[in-house]
Amino acid sequence: MLSLSALLALRPGPAVSTNFVYRYELPDKQVEIMRKWDLLPPPEHDRPYTGVLTVIRGTQDELRAQCPIFRPYNWALGCSPVRMNRSTHCIVYIADDATLKAAGWRYDLVLRHELGHCNGWRHEAYGLWGVY
């Protein structure tokens, strides 16, 4: 019998992850600046998610197909579309490592941002980024 990770490796399409990294290694000043720019969620939403979490990694094209909210000139780094009750299950799409590296982002920061959405956060500056 194949393990879950072996089955996922055989599955075509974007990678689905069951290993989640969530770190709080940022200096307070950097967190403050990133929150001001709507890059990190406010404290009440900046916490681990307690429901069922699915993270799917993909290319720019795959993320844009799942999350059509990205503007053509923005990087598609991550999103968490509202498709179900996020209090019990949240699906997060995060760009592949090559895309994150090219954009200058770390996986754990994109995940932290998206987990904020799983926890109920909406962007204050929706028009600024064109994402949710």
List pLDDT tens digits, range 59-112: 999 999 998 888 888 899 999 987 667 778 999 999 999 999 999 999 999 999
Mean pLDDT, the chain, rounded, equals 78
pTM above 0.85, yes or no: no
- Which strands form 15-17's sheet, in the order they lie side by side? 15-17, 52-58, 89-95, 78-79
Adjacent-strand bridge partners of 78: 94
DSSP state of 79: E
